[in-house]
Amino acid sequence: MNKILNMDCIDYMHSLPDESIDFVLTSPPYDTMRLYKRKVTWNFDKFKEVANQLVRCIKPGSTIVWVVGDETIDHNETGTSFRQALYFKELGLNLYDTMIFEKVNPLPGFKPSLYRQCFEYIFVLCKGKMRVFNPILVDTTTKMTTYRKANKWSMENGRTTSGERKRPTPAQRFHNNIFRYNVGGVKVDHPATFPIQLAKDMIYTYTEVGMTVYDPFAGSGTTNIAAYELERDCIGTDVVEEYATMANKRLAVIMNQQLIPFDKETITCDVDKVPNGQRELHTCCLYEPNEALELV
């Protein structure tokens, strides 16, 4: 536990008993957009093998958060992300939510007849009725002194003679299902990392302390680092040996509360210029014990 194994996720899941995983957070290969050291074979048949094993291994009420995007070939998006979501539904999972991961600072680029590409899908899939949901709350913009009309209430609940009543606007509401994050940061030898705050938000929402988080495509270890910081057990797999080694080293830094060696060439942003309250979207290269470390 609390490590990344250098092995194919299908082989690993074959060793697991049925309904033994609490939660899955991962970002699989996006069609053929990344080479992954030329050691990853990925197509829809391979995806189906992974999906079959994930559905078998997760517990009833458990959630899979599947972060994915599509490749564009000859001016035509593959639509693979939706094919994957629909296949999970064929296997009996509920598609609880289709959320958006919006990149605040997407890579610059220009393609004819296309707006700037700045988002990926977050499919939230559940085996039966979801057993854990800890919503992220945000402050409402309307003050508590502002009232709004409500639907008709029974007399026991204070209905007025007009059939309507006014009630105060709550101080907080659920976060929208569009999540915005900065991307990039500390350089790691991996072509497709996602923000650690994304991992933390998803793990916090769909798990409790002590549960086990699994990432079948662990890559640079972001999911595992986020899970450990949130006091969840974590396990990851990656078929590329270099990625598994790197991910274990990054996780060991967190587990041992060590300082990351300072390397000015790994700095990609001036943390001192980040506004208060926005630091979770950026990357730090050094941290003190008991201080959250932002790794991408």
Residue where one domain finishes, among candidates 115, 148, 174: 174
Distance CA 277, CA 281 (A): 9
Beta bridge partners of 174: 137
Is residue 25 domain-shared with residue 74, that is, in the same domain? Answer: yes
| Residues 167-218 pLDDT 10s | 667 888 999 999 999 987 656 554 557 899 999 999 999 999 999 999 999 9
Is residue 190 domain-shared with residue 164, that is, in the same domain? Answer: no
Contact 117, 33 (CB under 8 A): no
Is residue 70 domain-shared with residue 187, that is, in the same domain? Answer: yes
Distance CA 51, CA 83 (A): 12
Tell me what the pLDDT averaged over the chain comes to: 80
Is residue 276 domain-shared with residue 161, that is, in the same domain? Answer: no
Asked if residue 293 belongs to a domain, the reply is no
Predicted pLDDT at 71: 86
Buried b (16+ CB within 10 A) or exposed e, 96-121: beebebebeeeeeeeeeeeeeeeebb
Is residue 211 domain-shared with residue 222, that is, in the same domain? Answer: yes
Is residue 197 domain-shared with residue 224, that is, in the same domain? Answer: yes
Asked if residue 42 belongs to a domain, the reply is yes
Domain range holding 47?
Answer: 3-136+175-281
Is residue 151 domain-shared with residue 251, that is, in the same domain? Answer: no
Instruction: Identify the CATH number of the domain in which residue 240 sits.
Output: 3.40.50.150
Asked if residue 207 belongs to a domain, the reply is yes
Residues with Cβ within 8 Å of 27's Cβ and at least 6 positions away in sequence, in order, are 66, 67, 68, 192, 194, 217, 219
Is residue 169 domain-shared with residue 267, that is, in the same domain? Answer: no
Task: Please choose, from the candidates 200, 234, 220, the residue with its C-alpha nearest in 3D space to the C-alpha of residue 296.
Answer: 220
Q: How far is CA 213 from CA 23, 96, 136, 191, 243, in A?
A: 5, 19, 19, 23, 18
Asked if residue 288 belongs to a domain, the reply is no
Residue where one domain finishes, among candidates 157, 174, 191: 174
Distance CA 58, CA 216 (A): 12
Contact 223, 25 (CB under 8 A): yes
Is residue 80 domain-shared with residue 165, that is, in the same domain? Answer: no
Asked if residue 215 belongs to a domain, the reply is yes
| Residues 229-286 pLDDT 10s | 999 999 999 999 999 999 999 999 888 864 444 333 333 333 343 344 433 333 332 3
Direct distance between the N- and C-terminal alpha carbons of the chain, in angstroms, rounded to an integer: 21
Asked if residue 230 belongs to a domain, the reply is yes
Asked if residue 151 belongs to a domain, the reply is yes
Is residue 219 domain-shared with residue 108, that is, in the same domain? Answer: yes
| Residues 67-99 pLDDT 10s | 999 988 888 899 999 999 999 999 999 999 999
Residue where one domain finishes, among candidates 114, 149, 174: 174
Is residue 179 domain-shared with residue 72, that is, in the same domain? Answer: yes
Domain count, the chain: 2
Q: What are phi and psi of 45, to 5 degrees?
A: -65, -40
Whether 43 has a pLDDT exceeding 50, the answer reads yes
Asked if residue 289 belongs to a domain, the reply is no
What does pTM read for this prediction? 0.77
Q: Which amino acid is at 90?
A: E
DSSP 265: G
Report the Cα 193 to chain-centroid distance in Å: 11
Distance CA 124, CA 98 (A): 6
Is residue 42 domain-shared with residue 58, that is, in the same domain? Answer: yes
Greater confidence, 292 or 171? 171
